[in-house]
A = this chain, B = another copy of it.
Amino acid sequence: NGSTVESLDYEVVENFAYREEQAKRGKLYMGYAVLVKWFLALLIGIGTGLAAVFINLSVENFAGWKFSLTFQIIQKSYFAGFLVYILINLVLVLSSVYIITCFAPAASGSGIPEIKGYLNGIDTHGILLFRTLIGKIFGSIGSVGGGLALGKEGPLVHIGACIASLLGQGGTTKYHLQSRWLQVFSSERDRRDLVTCGCAAGVAAAFRAPVGGVLFALEEVTSWWRSQLMWRVFFTSAIVAVVVRTAMGWCKDGNCGHFGAGGFIIWDISGGQEDYSFEELLPMAVIGVIGGLLGALFNQLTLYMTHWRRNYLHKKGIRVKIIEACLISVITSAISFGLPLFRRCTPCPEADANSGIECPQAPGMFGNYVNFYCQNNKEYNDLATIFFNTQDDAIRNLFSAKTAHEFSAQSLLTFLVMFYTLAVVTFGTAVPAGQFVPGIMIGSTYGRLVGMFVVSFYKKLNIEEGTYALLGAASFLGGSMRMTVSLCVIMVEITNNLKLLPLIMLVLLISKAVGDAFNEGLYEEQAGLRAIPLLESRPKYQMRYMTAKEACGNQNVVYFPRVVKVADIVSILRSNDHNGFPVVDHARSGETLVIGLILRSHLLVLLQSKVDFQHSPLPCDSRGDLLPIRHNLSEFVKPVSSKGISLHDIHFTPDDLEMYIDLAPFLNPSPYVVPEDMSLTKVYNLFRQLGLRHLLVVPRPARVIGMITRKDLILED
């Protein structure tokens, strides 16, 4: 299990090959590199935007077709309709789980914890591959179209990240273009920036919320942020908005079936409540508290579920995973179809000519007040209005204004309990699954419930239940994912009601505070479970009392001499699984001197290519030769999410093993070092802020060669 994650090297290895490359590059090259970066940002935006449009289009068409077929059939027989409904869902879910289990196992779940890990410096194998991208796209069409209690927003973030990473390395891991123009992206750091852009693009595409996307990437996903990056991410998001908008404009004319009917803003409630009074703050605070509690509970329950799944259920093989998902699909379909049948219908409210809301609507119109299994044709079924519907439409109904008393408390409560349970149970099955939309569903249900009481309590005030539903949604997401600013902006962008912003802030503050009292955020919990060792931005408290030396314990440092026999390299590499080794040389005076750090992956490249083997055990520069450059810098870059070269695959002749390699041209000559008695807090800050992988602990220096202050770093152009 521990072998599926590996740290990334964000540090630039300033070895000989790198310096040569740098020396060859002029100012012009820099301008070109910048251009390529922006061009890639553009491509990421376009790619993610198109992927989102494709997914949305497919999901809405599948779902639309499913519902209209079912509705047609239930005109004759409810039972036949029930069977067809279950069957269609089952087929969709089955296709999804099949794709995931047999083709792209890394594409299950939301992918956000893994991406968060990647941007924190941990590479999970398989997470950014081409097959994962494909699996994620088609898998989420199946799982979301199949009506499970999950969303497509998390997967879209993952999709954006995959697209970004693939573009950055010029194609799939096996067959990527080794074209010169992509060598700009030879460092992990540049790739990290691209992936950040991809995440932002994913959110921007999922919610059609460009600014929310930028902030999501900034607040929730990345661990390092630079202000230049902000602008590039912003650009990508803007491109996504343009692409999605254009596609929607094109679809509006009916080119895309069921897709494209709504506006750019998903759940526009701008016509609703605009003002609020002080009396309302108390019930809103209550919503915040409920959100915090239910959110924390959700995190805890899903943690147990996932834990149990990993350790018992999913160990039994692929078949169990498939059966599990199918079972959940059948249960979900049965509940969402069956429960509304048991619900008594409600008479339509007094017709209000102004509001423009009809009652009842024919089933299949996806509006409020759906007539489902009602005898009287002036009645509607409130449970069916939210349960037997796509999640998007259900949320629209829950958010809707001017529909006071549409739902009964009983229906909402039933729905809340059922959907919450389904969301918990569905979490962790082997399908792509986001938690955003289910969270909004859950939150808006209890929000609307609270809103109902407020409406009947304060009769005079101009209160909309839909507003409370919105606040409920914000509170649940805040209580579960623990985001603040980005969530605020996303909520505003998806509902287009800026006047409610202060209320959303209030609710989020409360729900996050309440949730934090119980456990960590959803993504952190899940990352922990998947053994992704995220480094938080703040050092642990007990680190204050520890020093760097204590942190390494009494380890025996494995090191290499400068010129080393191939046989020795092989045996040392076999004997441990460290990934970096200090290289030690002897100075003329006979003292030892640490001349750098060599990475395991670079050693493997050297061993595989064999061009640097030499017969003499002397350093190459001492023989008077110039250092030959036999390697291209990009050879040393490991493709993302793959294991790289393995020692077992390299074949050595006995002659090879007797040869030597001079490591000097290939090592990182200046790794970061810390004195042995530096407190671990400071070490942690250094490690975390710079995104390091290795840090050498060294003795106190004997003398100071110079002092560097701000003045020395301000260079004139």
A interface residues with partner B (beta carbon < 8 Å): 7, 12, 14, 22-23, 27, 30, 121-122, 210-211, 214-215, 218-219, 225-228, 230-231, 234-235, 237-238, 241-242, 245, 264-265, 270, 484-485, 488-489, 492-493, 496, 498-499, 501-502, 505-506, 509, 512, 533, 535, 537-538, 540-545, 548-549, 551-553, 555, 557, 559, 578-580, 582, 584, 591-595, 669-670, 672-690, 693-715, 717
Q: Please indicate the chain B residues that have their CB under 8 angstroms from the CB of A688 in the complex.
A: 713
Question: Would you call B592 and A703 a contact (CB within 8 A)?
Answer: yes
Question: Would you call B211 and A501 a contact (CB within 8 A)?
Answer: yes
Question: Would you call A238 and B493 a contact (CB within 8 A)?
Answer: no
Of B505, B533, B686, the contact of A690 (CB 8 Å cutoff): B686
Q: Please indicate the chain B residues that have their CB under 8 angstroms from the CB of A686 in the complex.
A: 672, 686, 690
Q: Please indicate the chain B residues that have their CB under 8 angstroms from the CB of A121 in the complex.
A: 710
Question: Would you call A533 and B711 a contact (CB within 8 A)?
Answer: yes
Question: Would you call A678 and B689 a contact (CB within 8 A)?
Answer: no
Closest-CB distance, A206 to chain B (whole angstroms): 16
Closest-CB distance, A78 to chain B (whole angstroms): 42
Closest-CB distance, A146 to chain B (whole angstroms): 33
Closest-CB distance, A490 to chain B (whole angstroms): 11
Closest-CB distance, A704 to chain B (whole angstroms): 5
- 10 sample A-B contacts, Cβ–Cβ < 8 Å, listed by A number: A27-B541, A210-B502, A228-B537, A230-B484, A234-B505, A533-B711, A542-B715, A551-B706, A553-B706, A695-B707
Q: Please indicate the chain B residues that have their CB under 8 angstroms from the CB of A702 in the complex.
A: 591-594, 699
Q: Please indicate the chain B residues that have their CB under 8 angstroms from the CB of A675 in the complex.
A: 670, 673
Closest-CB distance, A443 to chain B (whole angstroms): 19
Question: Would you call B552 and A707 a contact (CB within 8 A)?
Answer: yes
Q: Please indicate the chain B residues that have their CB under 8 angstroms from the CB of A594 in the complex.
A: 700-704
Closest-CB distance, A237 to chain B (whole angstroms): 8
Of B231, B492, B582, B704, the contact of A704 (CB 8 Å cutoff): B582
Question: Would you call A210 and B505 a contact (CB within 8 A)?
Answer: yes
Question: Would you call A706 and B7 a contact (CB within 8 A)?
Answer: no
A591 to B702, CA, bound (A): 7
Of B242, B488, B498, the contact of A502 (CB 8 Å cutoff): B242
The 6 closest A-B pairs by CB, nearest first: A552-B706, A698-B701, A670-B678, A695-B708, A697-B706, A238-B505
Question: Would you call A234 and B700 a contact (CB within 8 A)?
Answer: no
A495 to B165, CA, bound (A): 38
A231 to B690, CA, bound (A): 23
Of B218, B669, B708, the contact of A551 (CB 8 Å cutoff): B708
Q: Please indicate the chain B residues that have their CB under 8 angstroms from the CB of A674 in the complex.
A: 670, 672-673, 708
Question: Would you call A557 and B708 a contact (CB within 8 A)?
Answer: no
Given contacts A234-B484, A498-B496, contact A710 B226 (CB under 8 A): no
Nearest B residue (CB) for A542: B715
Q: Please indicate the chain B residues that have their CB under 8 angstroms from the CB of A683 in the complex.
A: 708, 713
Nearest B residue (CB) for A558: B707
Q: Please indicate the chain B residues that have their CB under 8 angstroms from the CB of A681 in the complex.
A: 12
Q: Please indicate the chain B residues that have their CB under 8 angstroms from the CB of A670 in the complex.
A: 674-675, 677-679, 682
Given contacts A234-B509, A702-B594, A707-B696, contact A682 B498 (CB under 8 A): no
Nearest B residue (CB) for A682: B670
Of B238, B485, B498, the contact of A215 (CB 8 Å cutoff): B485
Question: Would you call A694 and B709 a contact (CB within 8 A)?
Answer: yes
Given contacts A228-B538, A485-B215, contact A493 B498 (CB under 8 A): yes
A565 to B680, CA, bound (A): 33
6 further A-B contacts with Cβ under 8 Å, apart from A489-B489, A592-B702, are A210-B502, A215-B485, A552-B708, A694-B708, A695-B707, A697-B706
Q: Please indicate the chain B residues that have their CB under 8 angstroms from the CB of A485 in the complex.
A: 211, 214-215, 230, 234
Question: Would you call B689 and A689 a contact (CB within 8 A)?
Answer: yes
Q: Please indicate the chain B residues that have their CB under 8 angstroms from the CB of A582 in the complex.
A: 704, 707
Question: Would you call B669 and A677 a contact (CB within 8 A)?
Answer: yes
Nearest B residue (CB) for A559: B704
Question: Would you call B543 and A241 a contact (CB within 8 A)?
Answer: no
A114 to B231, CA, bound (A): 23
Question: Would you call B231 and A512 a contact (CB within 8 A)?
Answer: yes
Closest-CB distance, A121 to chain B (whole angstroms): 7
Given contacts A593-B700, A697-B707, contact A715 B496 (CB under 8 A): no
Q: Please indicate the chain B residues that have their CB under 8 angstroms from the CB of A708 in the complex.
A: 548, 551-552, 674, 683, 687, 694-697
A548 to B693, CA, bound (A): 22
A553 to B707, CA, bound (A): 10
Question: Would you call A226 and B548 a contact (CB within 8 A)?
Answer: no
A210 to B485, CA, bound (A): 10
Given contacts A484-B234, A512-B231, A709-B7, contact A502 B693 (CB under 8 A): no
Question: Would you call A713 and B687 a contact (CB within 8 A)?
Answer: yes
Query: Which of A493, A670, A688 has its CB near the most chain B CB atoms (within 10 A)?
Result: A670
Of B14, B231, B238, the contact of A682 (CB 8 Å cutoff): B14
Closest-CB distance, A423 to chain B (whole angstroms): 26
Question: Would you call B693 and A698 a contact (CB within 8 A)?
Answer: no
Query: Which of A215, A242, A694 has its CB near the most chain B CB atoms (within 10 A)?
Result: A215
Closest-CB distance, A524 to chain B (whole angstroms): 11
Given contacts A219-B230, A501-B493, contact A704 B713 (CB under 8 A): no
Q: Please indicate the chain B residues that have their CB under 8 angstroms from the CB of A678 in the complex.
A: 670
A641 to B672, CA, bound (A): 34
